[in-house]
Amino acid sequence: MTKISRLTTALLLTLIATASHSEPTESFSKAKKLLMSNVYFDHRVTIYCAAKFNSNKVITLPRGYESSKYKKRARRVEWEHIVPAENFGRTFTEWREGDAKCVNKHGKPYKGRRCANKANKEYRQMQSDLYNLSPAIGAVNALRSNYNFTMLSGEKSDFGSCQMKVAKRKAEPPLRARGRIARTYLYMEQKYPRYNMSKSQRKLMLAWDKLHPVNNWECTRADRIKNIQGNSNQILSARCN
């Protein structure tokens, strides 16, 4: 997509957004539907393996893809939190300790993600932030789990031709995804003061950001999300102009 066509698309989306007030969603389920219908409608490609998927969320696996793990999830799209929900979730008291609102029908208290989602609006907005969600092969999403990204020297791909590596509770993404991942981490840290990367994680993300510049799709995606969600991604705004 050329810069002119991207700007034209952004203008049309702005007009649509003006008619229907843009605001952050607090529903993860709604966020996934918005991404399918309003963002990825003409670019149905997964972030890690570049696998194509259709409107029914059925994936066509790329040539050479292979994995013995999570086979039932290999043919479906799942929406991956690039910054894992647990990473920012544990900064919420409701996640760590529970809340008076978090009691099941048997009177038993609970905590964790379920409680944070029930009792804290900021958490709901963070877990549903469209900038932090990308389509992934379900099996890849499952194996990545909530692990942070790093470089895994000497490790082999866990998915054949898709160079996604997972080992030692860490993950190394393919080259094609590193820039987008980095800018997502930088965005989440800038947008939400309660989330902070470690020094080593930030250093890696800054390096990936520099080594793997934005492309047209990343900027188009940001334009579309801005018109749905209502806030600019300042990390991408600085790099797409």
pTM over 0.85: yes
Establish how many alpha carbons lie within 13 A of residue 43's alpha carbon, considering only the half-sphere containing its beta carbon.
15
pLDDT at 98: 98
pLDDT at 17: 44
pLDDT at 23: 84
6 or 109, greater pLDDT: 109
How many Å apart are CA 10 and CA 2, to the nearest integer? 12
pLDDT, tens digit (0-9, with 9 covering 90-100), for 7-64: 555 555 544 444 345 788 999 999 999 999 999 999 999 999 999 999 999 999 999 9
pLDDT, tens digit (0-9, with 9 covering 90-100), for 177-205: 999 999 999 999 999 999 999 999 999 99
How many Å apart are CA 71 and CA 77, to the nearest integer? 13
pLDDT at 8: 53
